[in-house]
Structures are given as C-alpha cells and as structure tokens.
C-alpha cells in the first residue's frame, strides 16, 4: 500500500504531463519509435495498387457477365509487382493458372470468403493491423474474412505445423531493422490474386517488412515452391499507414455474401417462413 | 518448453484448418449417422481434408461384387485429431486402411469414422468429440 500510492501519484503526474505536453510529444508517447529495441510496426497498413487483381502486368478489361454494372465491373490496368517481371511457372502449373482464370470468379477462393493466405492477404484492398509488443508473438489481423496469424518470434517456437493451414505457419525473426517472416505449411487452396495465380502446399514464403518512412513499409515476399515454379521469385511493393481519422480494423465477415455461390443448389425463391410469435 | 509447443500447436489449430466459411454440416452424430448401422470398410485413401468442423477421409473401396465405390468418412475436428497425434502425413493418398464407423442415415456412401487401422496394424482414433458420437475403442 505504501509503495502503491506514490506509484499512482506518479501515474497521475504522467497523464497530466502528457495532456499538457506539445502534441508531438504526446504522439511519441502513444507510438514509441522502437519496442524492445526493434522498429515499432504497430498500426494499420494497406497496399494502394492493383496487385489484388493481378500481381503481373495486365491491361484493363471488363468482367464478363456483369454488363449491368457497366464500368463498375471492370478491372483497371496495372503494372507487375513481380520483381522478375513474370511468374516463372512450370508448364503444368501455367496450364492450371489458365484453368483457374477461365473459371473465375467461381473458381476464386476469395469469392468464397476462404481465408486468403500469405502473401495475398497483405495486398487485398482492405487494411490490416500489426500488433507488436515486447512478447514472443506479433499478431497480424486482416479485415478480410477476419483472417489473422500470430508470428512466432521465439526460435523455440519455429516449427512446421502438423497440417497445412489457410494462413500458414509464420516463424519470425529480426534481420537488423527488418521483420523477416518465413511462412510454411501453406495449404494449396489459396491463390495470389484474382487472376488465378496459384501455388502448391510445398510453398515457403519469406516476407520482409522494412520501414522506409514513418508511414510507409517496403514489403517483399519471396516465393519458393519448386513444385509450381522453375525458380524462386519475389513480390515487392510499398504498404502505407492508414492515416484516416477514426481508422480502425473493421471486420469484413464475407461468409454471408458467399453462401449462394457455394450452396446455390439449396437456395429457393420461396419466402422465408414467418417467424414464430 | 513442451508446454509452449502444445500451446503453439493448439493455437495453430484454432486459427486455421478451415476456410472461413462454416461448413454446412456441423451437427450431432444422431442427426446424420445411424448407430445401428456399424460398418467396416477396407479401401485406399484418395485424400484427407483437415477441415473444420469435421475432417473428411475419402476412400476408394472395392466391394465383394467388384464394384468400386468412393466413400466419404467424417472424422473429428482437425484440432482434436492433431491432439491425438494425427498430422498431414498420417494418411497419404494410396494408403490401404480399414475404417470402422457408422453409416449415414440417408444411405449415401458416407460414414462417421471411429477408427482407422493402418497397414502396420496401428490404429488412429478418428472419432468426433462432443457431438454424441460413439468413441473409438
């Protein structure tokens, strides 16, 4: 009791000081530059590009079959986010990509609200949040499908998961000021984008997150999957801090929007039975 | 240290293993399967899916009359199976197995799996928990 009272008093003083201090100082307190000696990556981040449509260079085109939506149902052109220019598919895997593309959108796991996997979750058109503390785990939480993944920073926790996972197993480490995450146990059901680009369960993704300014991260994901690609290749793009007033991670529980697509055979046009009194 | 790994594995189970879409079939045992129709199936594993809320084992079975049937065997949730020692390598495609289970009420080629016996004679407990399913002995 004797020791608690002064502590509480000091706390009050600190709050008062923060309230009275210039705004910059208050911000510094809210978001320290470093946590346990490492860069503070906490916050909401989002890509601002066309990678979610197609990580390779592509022209603008209409989405077939949705003419009623006019130019709302059109894919904007975009550059390649693949450092090597094109994805080095093996011939069979390229044929599978074309098959995926021909069956789009029904073939796309995103249309079914399946968890997107890594790296796709990173550059979907929604924010994601990094929650970093002083402990052994950094949490990545995504808007889409309420997907999330813990990144295990303690080498003792660096395992391969017992089964393949939609969001993979994320084993992290710091390389200087860069957060490096090796993602294994990637299930073969996830894609890279809406253009049918895909991988196998043998894929290992090595992600690198580096602050290039207070409000921007350089993101790199090196894809190593000898069952699908002739050589490793890398996705690179900046990610931006979401600075909007009241920005926060909202959930996009997309399940209900995918039900008719997945279970359409069970749908009828009959009105729902009246609720019981 | 062992505790840590268990916790990590359990967490991995929680996050994943399923699409975000809830499967249409989370149900009590009795709603879909008939405890009065026990069945023994010998066949070859086509594939195994660790999906929530139930895992599925797909089996190619040749009947006495020579007909080739494709069976779907429902198992416990991935997290339950992983805690009993299952992993991605437990049932590779092509494995010859014997499954004890209970047939579905609707007569389709589906069953609730209780146990899976591997070629070396070892047995994996495949049963669902907490859904009224009989436990594997």
Q: Is the pLDDT confidence value at A190 over 70?
A: yes
Quick check: A267 contacting B, CB < 8 Å?
Answer: no
Whether residue B82 has pLDDT greater than 50: yes
H or E segment to which residue B4 belongs: helix B2-15
Per-residue pLDDT reduced to its tens digit, A9-59: 444 444 444 444 444 444 445 789 999 999 999 999 999 999 999 999 999
Per-residue pLDDT for A271 more than 80? no
- What pLDDT score was predicted for residue B92? 94
For residues A123-133, give the mean pLDDT: 97
- State CA A195 to chain mean position distance: 17
Spell out which residues of chain B touch residue A159, defining contact as CB-CB under 8 Å. Answer: 5, 8-9
Q: What is the pLDDT of residue A223?
A: 98
Supply A139's token pair.
């949490």
Residues A262, B21: C-beta atoms closer than 8 Å: yes
Mean pLDDT of A130-135: 96
Residues in chain A: 277
Q: What is the pLDDT of residue B28?
A: 79
Q: Taking the CB of residue A202, how many other CB atoms lie within 10 A of it?
A: 13
Q: Does position B10 have pLDDT exceeding 50, yes or no?
A: no
Token digits of residue B115: 């146990």
| Nearest to B111, CA basis, from B43, B9, B11 | B43
The token duo for B19 is: 């699409």
Smallest Cα–Cα separation from B101: which of B79, B52, B134?
A: B134
Residue B117 reports pLDDT greater than 80? yes
Q: Report H helices in chain A.
A: 4-20, 23-30, 91-102, 255-263
Q: What is the ipTM of this complex?
A: 0.70
Residue B121 has pLDDT above 70, yes or no: yes
Predicted local distance difference test score (pLDDT) of residue B30: 85
B16 touches chain A (CB under 8 A): yes
Residue B129: the pLDDT is: 65
Q: Considering CB atoms only, which of B15, B78, B86 is closest to A149?
A: B15
Chain A residues with CB inside 8 Å of B9's CB? 159, 161-162
Exposed e or buried b for every residue in A166-189, given b needs 16+ CB within 10 A?
bbbbbbbeeeeebbbbbbbbbbeb
For residues A59-70, give the mean pLDDT. 93
Locate the DSSP E strands across B7-78: 33-49, 56-62, 68-74
- Cβ–Cβ contact A116 with B under 8 A: no
Torsion of CA B29, B35, B39, B41, to 10 degrees: 10
- Give the model's pLDDT for residue A2: 42
Span B25-75, pLDDT tens digits:
567 788 889 889 999 999 999 999 998 889 999 999 999 999 999 999 999
What pLDDT was estimated at residue B132?
Answer: 65
| pLDDT tens, residue by residue, A203-252 | 999 999 999 999 999 999 999 999 999 999 999 999 999 999 999 999 99
Q: What pLDDT, on the 0 to 100 scale, is given for residue B32?
A: 86
Could you tell me the two tokens for A22? Answer: 């210039």
Q: Which of residues 69-98 of B touch A (CB under 8 A)?
A: 78, 82, 86-88
Confidence of residue A266 (pLDDT cuts 50, 70, 90): confident
Burial B106-125 (b: 16+ CB within 10 A, else e): eeeebbbbbbbbeeeeeebb
Identify the pLDDT of residue B131: 59
Indicate the residue of B1, B15, B88 with minimum beta-carbon distance to A164. Answer: B88
**Does residue B2 belong to the interface with chain A, where contact is any CB pair within 8 Å?**
no
> Which of B2, B5, B8 to mutate to test binding with chain A, by most A CBs within 10 Å of its CB?
B8
- pLDDT tens profile A70-114: 999 999 999 999 999 999 999 999 999 999 999 999 999 999 999
CA distance A10 to chain B (A): 37
pLDDT for res B126: 87
**Residues 6+ positions from A31 with CB-CB distance below 8 Å:** A40, A42, A43
- Distance from the Cα of A155 to chain B's closest Cα (Å) equals 11
- Residue A19 CA to residue B46 CA, distance in Å, equals 65
Residue B24 at interface with chain A, using a CB cutoff of 8 Å: yes
Residue among B20, B53, B75, B76 with most chain A CBs within 10 A, to mutate = B20
pTM of the predicted structure, to 2 decimals? 0.81
Q: Let me know: does A100 contact A89? Beta carbons within 8 Å.
A: no
Q: Pick the residue with more confidence: A269 or A193? A: A193
């Amino acid at each position: 009791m004797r020791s608690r009272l002064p502590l509480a008093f000091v706390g009050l003083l600190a709050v008062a000081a923060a309230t009275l201090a210039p705004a910059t100082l208050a911000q510094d307190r809210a978001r320290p530059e470093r946590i346990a000696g490492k860069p503070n990556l906490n916050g909401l981040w989002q890509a601002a590009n066309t990678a979610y449509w197609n990580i390779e260079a592509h022209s603008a085109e209409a989405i077939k079959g949705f003419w009623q939506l006019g130019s709302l149902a059109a894919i904007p052109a975009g550059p390649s986010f693949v450092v090597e220019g094109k994805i080095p598919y093996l011939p069979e895997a390229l044929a599978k990509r074309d098959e995926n593309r021909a069956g789009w959108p029904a073939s796309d796991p995103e249309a079914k609200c399946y968890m997107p996997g890594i790296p796709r979750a990173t550059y979907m058109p929604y924010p994601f949040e990094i929650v970093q503390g002083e402990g052994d785990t950094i949490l990545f939480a995504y808007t889409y499908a309420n997907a999330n993944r813990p990144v295990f920073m303690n080498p003792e926790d660096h395992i391969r998961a017992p089964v393949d996972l939609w969001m993979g197993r994320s084993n992290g480490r710091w390389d200087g000021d860069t957060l490096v995450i090796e993602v294994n146990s990637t299930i073969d059901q996830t894609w890279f984008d809406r253009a049918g680009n895909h991988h196998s369960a043998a894929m290992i993704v090595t992600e690198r997150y580096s602050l290039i300014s207070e409000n921007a991260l350089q993101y790199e994901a090196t894809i190593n999957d000898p069952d699908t690609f002739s050589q490793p290749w890398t996705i690179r793009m900046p990610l931006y801090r979401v600075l909007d007033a009241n920005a926060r991670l909202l959930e996009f529980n997309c399940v209900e929007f995918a039900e008719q697509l997945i279970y359409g055979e069970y749908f009828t046009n009959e009105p729902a039975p009246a609720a019981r009194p | 240290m062992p505790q840590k790994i268990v916790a990590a594995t359990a967490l991995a189970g929680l996050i994943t293993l399923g699409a975000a879409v809830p499967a249409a079939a989370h149900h009590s045992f009795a709603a879909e399967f008939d405890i009065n129709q026990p069945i023994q199936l010998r066949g070859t594993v086509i594939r195994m899916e660790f999906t929530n809320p139930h895992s599925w084992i797909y089996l190619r079975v040749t009947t006495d009359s020579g007909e080739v049937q494709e069976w779907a065997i429902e198992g416990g949730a991935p997290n339950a199976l992983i805690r009993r020692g299952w992993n991605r390598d437990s049932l590779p495609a092509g494995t010859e197995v014997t499954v004890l289970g209970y047939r579905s009420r609707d007569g389709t080629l589906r069953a609730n799996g209780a146990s899976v016996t591997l070629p070396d004679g070892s047995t994996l407990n495949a049963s669902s928990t907490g859904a009224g399913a009989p436990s594997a002995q």
